[in-house]
Amino acid sequence: MGNTIQNKKELSSRLKERAILEGFVVSGIASIPGSSRLKLRTKALERWLENHYHSEMKWMEAERRKNVGLLLEGAKSVLTVGYNYLSEEHDTNTNFKVGKFGQGKDYHKLIYKKLKNVGKWIDSEIEDCTWKICVDTSPLLEKAWAEEAGIGWIGKNSNLINKKFGSWLTLGFMILTKELTSDNQSRSLCGKCEKCIEKCPTNAITEPFVINSNLCIAYHTIENRQKTFPESIETNLNGWIAGCDICQDVCPWNKSVPFNKSVEAKPKDWIKSLNDESLNWEDKQWELNLKGSTLKRIKPWMWRRNIRAILQN
């Protein structure tokens, strides 16, 4: 294995540097089981579930989400990374709007591949360390652990916000069986600002930090499997057919975020060409377009439903 790193502080620093070399813009480390704040976040999740604010997203109920130790035996640390998906070329089609997170390459695969490379580095540099990669399909209290690792704070729109990169970040995690040096937890810098709450057209942010998915445009355009939308959603779509960025677009922390100039973040051509005629695209055309996209969770019939809802209002 060669000269492995033994010093905990040096190891932690080099691990975070390695993550940045793989293309992440921020990285931080938290120790398991975490601080008392993490317990508060877990209690907040339980209240959110009790209120049925997760709607049909039953996977949010997974018990493992409340205990990171259940995801990897002997877990001692969590490496958190953030990938900047903001592209200068993001499509600004006002008739058929797509959330910026979904315009480039599938971030699940992108983040997993980069973290897999970090894992290879761990295998060659760190003795006796088992690791597990988690992207947002894993039952992990993601934003709470990211806050714990110091890469940002949970804003009033429930998104993680970083001082430099705002909330235009997708998150990735590595759970490790190695005890590492943790970073200082982030503190909220939202202050008295409530622009995200004020500008949400459906009042989905029922109180600071709490989103009622039943009222959220992003939830309905991506997760809702019903043939039609509730009237309160349909009349407020305002062009959104996949996701919704309103609460992020109005956030002051998102006004001067540096762009990701890589091809990974560049919007796919078919997203730029969405128009009335897209309603007539066959399933095969949609499947071809959605290959390698985060948005393939939205099935072809759902795209047609979403487009039809826009055209009818």
According to DSSP, residue 165 is labeled T
276 is catalytic: no
Task: Count the residues in the chain.
Answer: 313
> Is the torsion defined by CA of 25, 153, 110, 120 positive or negative?
positive
What residues pair up with 266 in beta bridges, in sequence order? none
Cα–Cα distance for residue pair 147/245, rounded to 1 Å: 21
Sheet holding 77-84, edge to edge: 26-31, 77-84, 169-176, 131-134
Exposure string (b/e) for 258-271, b if CB count within 10 Å is 16 or more? eebeeebbbbbeeb
**DSSP letters of 267-306?**
PPHHHHT-SGGGGG--HHHHHHHHTT-GGGGS-HHHHHHH
Question: Are 71 and 64 within 8 A, CB to CB?
Answer: yes
According to DSSP, residue 68 is labeled G
Q: Name the helix (H) or strand (E) containing 121.
A: helix 107-125
Residue with tokens 């704070």: 153
Q: Both tokens of residue 292?
A: 């390698």
Cβ of 275: how many Cβ atoms within 10 Å?
A: 11
What residues pair up with 169 in beta bridges, in sequence order? 84
Q: Which of 91, 106, 123, 136 is catalytic?
A: 136
Residues belonging to the active site: 136
